[in-house]
Amino acid sequence: MQKNLEKNILVTGGTGTFGKAFVKKLLDLRFTNIAILSRDELKQFELRDELGTGSIKYFLGDVRDFERVRQVVSNMDIVIHAAAMKQVPASESNPLEAIKTNILGTENIIRASIENSVEKVIALSTDKATNPTSLYGATKLCADKLVIAGNFFPNNISTKFSVVRYGNVLGSRGSVIPLFKHQVKSNTITITDARMTRFWITIEQAVNFVMDRIPSMQGGEIFVPKIPSFKIIDVARVVAPATPIEVIGIRPGEKIHEIMINTDDALNTYDLGDFYVIVSPSNPNIQYYESKGKGVPENFSYSSENNTRWFNLESFEMLLKSINLI
């Protein structure tokens, strides 16, 4: 990314957990043309107070509003689309709101990027988009499909679209670790199923993974990092070892295990060492990945249950201490 220091970069959802960390990374790398699009003026005020104005332009707006998106995207070279409605229970009870933000909002980003000849767009996805059982996962799957299809829109002359899909970000807003730390006060931690596993990634790892994909992306691919799994009940044991645990039953839309690559995806998936890439067979860039990586076995799947990389209690505790979560 160093050679792109003069590029104009827009981060949608720039005041969220990922967005803030990505913007800070850009500042550390001395990027001078950074823009944020988000809809919460208080969060923008707080971020401006923390980071200053300097190299950052702050735009208030909602990705649901196409005209506003088109205005903000004009003159941008790279768009990182991180804005989303992310909470599973909230999406289940407010499905139309999730559809408007995650699907129609993504469509607006695609249309505006093509109209303004943006060079590259990376949209952030989630393990919940693979074989979705929740409304949130279903909307993110639709968004992924839209982003990949954006490469082949008839009016797209030069814009490249790709997706980055990863698991739970440790310590992100609304995630399980802050919840467990809050529940300690009531002397009971609740989990929904003792068997439940998840993929885990630090915010720094997520930011670096996205950053590293920008120079190499060809367009039309889904990038999946290789990251460890860990049981939710073991997360509770690390975060609050002395607090009793109550199993309360699985919530609507929740899975026992998450999956990032299913057996159908495996037919078009390549192993590039530290990550996988899923490439549609109709993608003209498939030969690039055939030369860079190795196809996975035919019945391959990448789930938090069958993962070959696992935390144990000690390694997970050490990681949380290293990022000041415990």
The percent helix, strand, coil of the chain (3-state, each to 5) is 40, 20, 40
Task: Give CA torsion, residues 81, 73, 40, 208, to 10 deg.
Answer: 30
Give me the phi and psi of 286, to 5 degrees please: -60, -35
The yes-or-no answer on residue 24 being catalytic is: no
Residue 52 buriedness (CB in 10 A; 0-12 / 13-18 / 19+): exposed
Are 150 and 142 spatial neighbours (Cβ–Cβ below 8 Å)? no
Amino acid at 305: E
**Of 20, 86, 120, 128, which residue is the catalytic one?**
128
How many alpha carbons fall within 13 Å on the CB side of residue 189?
A: 25
The residue assigned the tokens 């997970």 is: 316
3-state secondary structure 5-16: CCCCEEEECCCC
> Which residue has 């249309």 as its token pair?
111
What are the catalytic residues?
Answer: 128
